Amino acid sequence: MAKVDTSLVAHLPLFAGVKPEDLEEILREARSARYPKNTAIFEQGADAQSFFLLLHGHVRAAKTTPTGEQIVVRYVAPGETFGLAMAIGTAHYPATAMAVDDSVVLIWPTSAWPRLVERFPAIAANTLQTVGARLQESHTRILEMSTQQVEQRVAHALLRLAKQSGKKLDHGIEIDFPISRQDIAQMTGTTLHTVSRILSGWESQGLVESGRQRIILRDPHKIVLLSERTADSGPA
Amino acid sequence: MAKVDTSLVAHLPLFAGVKPEDLEEILREARSARYPKNTAIFEQGADAQSFFLLLHGHVRAAKTTPTGEQIVVRYVAPGETFGLAMAIGTAHYPATAMAVDDSVVLIWPTSAWPRLVERFPAIAANTLQTVGARLQESHTRILEMSTQQVEQRVAHALLRLAKQSGKKLDHGIEIDFPISRQDIAQMTGTTLHTVSRILSGWESQGLVESGRQRIILRDPHKIVLLSERTADSGPA
DNA sequence: GGCCCGTTTTGCGCTATCGCAAACTGCCTG
DNA sequence: CAGGCAGTTTGCGATAGCGCAAAACGGGCC
C-alpha cells in the first residue's frame, strides 16, 4: 500500500487542529486508490462502506431521479472530502461519484468514523463546517434557480468552477477538467441545447473559448457582469 | 427567567446521547423568549450572536437576493434548531428568521457553542446529522426544480409540509401554520399567480380545501399521484 | 489514415409559465 | 359596522426555454 505523507494533507481543513502525530495515526487507517478517468467510485443507493478524501484529480457527484434524469450535485476538487454518507446519518450513498479525470483518493472504512470522531473531535467540528458550507452553496443554487434566467445561472456556474478549479492561462482561465455542455446543463437546471446556444453566443462575443469538454473563460470580468445582469437591466 | 424542564427537550435529536444531568447544565446556559406572530427573530446578514431551538410555534427561514427577491429556505418546526450560523462557520446569519405563529424559543449565545461542543461531543455529531439531512433536502429540492414541472413541485412541497407540520383532521390534513400562496411560490421557485391557479384547479377537483393562508389536503393520496406524474405520463 | 461514436451546433415550432392588470374576498381594525 | 388592506383569483398576452430532429464536428482507436 502506498504510504501517504502527512505533509500532503496536514494543511487541509478536515485536519485543522489535529496534531501531526495524531494525523499519522488517522492516515494509518486509510488506504489509497486510483480511479481512472470515467470510472465510478461509488453508486447512488449503494451501501456506504467508505468515505473519501480526494488527493488528485476531479470527481463529479451526481444524483439520478427514478425516471433517469440526472443533476450534478457538485464537482469535488483535490483536498475535499466526499461520500460522507454515514457522518451525516445515511447508510447509503445519496449520489453517484465518478472520476472525471484520473484520480487518487484516500479511503477510510465507514466503521472508522465513530472512532475517529471520538478520538479527534476536531474532525467532527471541521466536517460540520464543510457540510455547512455545502448547505449554503445549495441554498444559493436554489436561490439562483428560483430568481435568475438560464444565462445568468450558467455564468455563475462557470465562475464558480473557475474559482474552484481554474487554471490561469495568459489568455484566460481554463476549467481544469473535462466538462461537457450536458454537465453544465445538469448543474444549472437546463438542457444541453440551451447551454450550447449560450456558449456559442459568448464565443462569438469573445467571452469564452470552448470546445469538446473544454472551456476557457477569456473575459471573466464581462462574465461577472453578465451573471449580475437582471432580466430587465441594460440592453441585450 | 422561565425554567425549562429537561423532559421537554430530552428526546430531541440534538440531545441524543446526552446524559440528563448534563442536559441540565446545557439548558442553564440558555434563555427562552417568545416571539409574536410576524416578528423577526434575526435578519439575514446580522451578526450571529445566538443560536436557537424552537420549542413552540413555527418559524420561516428566508433568503433575499440583492434585488429583493425572496425564497423560503425552510419552515422550522418545534424541536428543530435554527440560526446555527457559527456552528457551520459563518459570522453572519445567511437568512432571515421570522415567526409565522406565536413562537417560543430557547436561545444560546453563539459564544457558548465551542464550549458545549467540547464538553459534549455528541452535540457536534448530532448537529452534523441534522445539517447533513438538510443538505440532502436541499439537493432533493434542486433535483425537483431541475426536472419537474411546477405542479409536481407544489405537490411535493405541500406533502412535505403536511408531513412535517400536518394536523390530522377527519376530512384531511391541515398545514398547521399560516402559509400563503406567495410562501409556496417561494418554496417551489414559481409565482404566487401560478400557485393560485394550481390550487384553484385542485380545489375544484376536491383534492384540497384552502383559503386565506390556510391549506387542507383533502386527498393526500391523489396528491402523491400528482407529485409522481411526469410530464408525459397519463392524461390530465 | 480512416472510421466510428460521443459531443456540439443549429433550426423550428410549441407550451408551460411568467408578467401585468384588475377585480374580488375575507379579516381585522377602528 | 364600515372601511381598508393583505391575500387571492382570474384573464390575457408575451416569451424564455424546451423538445425534437438533423447535421456538423472532432478525437481517439484500430
Which nucleotides of strand C come closer than 7 angstroms to any CB of the protein?
6-11, 16-21, 26-27
> Which residues of A are less than 8 Å from B84 in CB distance?
132
Please say if the pLDDT value at position B201 is more than 80. Answer: yes
Per-residue pLDDT at A3: 67
Q: Name the residue type at position B142.
A: I
Write out pLDDT tens, residues B78-126: 999 999 998 888 999 999 999 999 999 999 999 999 999 999 999 999 9
Per-residue pLDDT at A2: 54
The backbone region for B56, taken as left when phi is positive above 0, alpha when psi lies in -120 to 50, beta otherwise, is beta
Q: What percentage of residues in chain A have a pLDDT greater than 90? A: 90
Write out pLDDT tens, residues B131-150: 999 999 999 999 999 999 99
Write out pLDDT tens, residues B67-81: 999 999 999 999 999
Residue A191: which nucleotide is closest by CA–C1'? D18
Write the residue in B71, B141, B230 that is nearest to A67 by C-beta: B230
Per-residue pLDDT at A231: 64
* Nucleic acid strand C within 7 Å of B180 CB: no
Per-residue pLDDT at B119: 93
Contacts of B216 (CB under 8 A, 6+ apart): B169, B171, B172, B173, B174, B175, B208, B209, B210
Cβ contact A139–B73 (<8 Å): yes
Residues of chain A with pLDDT under 70: 1-3, 231-236
Please say if the pLDDT value at position B195 is more than 90. Answer: yes
Task: List the strands of the sheet with B208-211, edge to edge.
Answer: B166-169, B172-175, B214-217, B208-211
Q: Mean pLDDT in chain B? A: 94
Which helix (H) or strand (E) segment holds residue A193: the answer is helix A192-204
Residues of A with a Cβ under 8 Å from any B Cβ are 63, 65, 67, 69, 71, 73, 84, 87-90, 94-95, 117-118, 121, 124-125, 127-129, 131-136, 138-139, 141-143, 145-147, 186, 189, 230
Q: Residues contacting strand D at CB < 7 A?
A: A 149-151, 189-191, 193-194, 211-212; B 180-182, 192-193, 196-197, 199-200, 203, 210-213, 231
Please say if the pLDDT value at position B4 is more than 90. Answer: no
What is the mean predicted confidence (pLDDT) over B44-71? Answer: 96
Per-residue pLDDT at A236: 40
Q: Which residue in chain A is spatially nearest to B138 when comparing CA positions?
A: A138
Per-residue pLDDT at B1: 53
Q: What secondary structure does DSSP assign to B137-198, as a single string? A: HHHHHHHHHHHS-HHHHHHHHHHHHHHHHEEEETTEEEESS---HHHHHHHHTS-HHHHHHH
> Which residues of B are less than 8 Å from A142 in CB distance?
71, 73, 138, 141-142, 145, 189
In the numeric block, which cell numbers belong to residue B128?
A: 452534523
DSSP class of residue B2 equals P
B233 confidence band (pLDDT: 50, 70, 90):
low
In the numeric block, which cell numbers belong to residue B236?
A: 390530465
Whether pTM exceeds 0.85:
yes
Per-residue pLDDT at B140: 97
Cβ contact B139–A73 (<8 Å): yes
Residue B200: which nucleotide is closest by CA–C1'? D9
Task: List the strands of the sheet with A166-169, edge to edge.
Answer: A166-169, A172-175, A214-217, A208-211
Per-residue pLDDT at B92: 97
* Nucleic acid strand C within 7 Å of B212 CB: yes
In the numeric block, which cell numbers belong to residue A133?
A: 458550507
